[in-house]
């Protein structure tokens, strides 16, 4: 479909909302998916960060903490196959 310039969307990508104390945490991706590396953007000490779970050069899941509605934008980007490769996240782009 992408070779025909058609819009490709994965509708089965799960979103799991969690709440630890009063802090909402959202996990996007399938539970138990393998990963080799975790790339964290933000500050873990301030409890405002995004953690990307990487398998090879592909982002297999992500977790947001401390942001309001950011998980919806990243979830939609993963469904539409718009997530950048992990090398861009490692380089800070």
* Residue pLDDT, tens place only, 25-34: 999 998 888 9
Q: What is the pTM of this model?
A: 0.83
At 91 the three-state DSSP class reads helix
Strands 23-28 and 37-43: unpaired
Q: Where are the alpha helices (DSSP H) in the chain?
A: 70-79, 86-91
Confidence class for position 55, pLDDT limits 50, 70, 90: very high
Per-residue pLDDT at 82 exceeds 70: yes
45 phi, psi to nearest 5 deg: -65, -35
Which whole number is the average pLDDT over 37-53? 93
Percentage of residues in the chain with pLDDT exceeding 70? Answer: 87
- Set out the domains of the chain in order of their start, with CATH numbers: 2-91 (3.30.390.30)
């Amino acid at each position: 479909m992408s070779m025909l310039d058609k819009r490709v969307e994965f509708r089965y990508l799960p979103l799991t909302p969690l709440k630890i104390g009063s802090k909402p945490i959202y996990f996007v991706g399938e539970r138990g998916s393998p990963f080799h590396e975790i790339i964290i953007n933000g500050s873990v000490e301030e409890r405002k960060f995004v953690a990307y779970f990487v398998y090879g050069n592909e982002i297999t899941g992500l977790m947001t903490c401390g942001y309001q509605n950011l998980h919806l934008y990243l979830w939609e980007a993963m469904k539409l196959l718009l997530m950048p490769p992990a090398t861009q996240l490692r380089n800070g782009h």
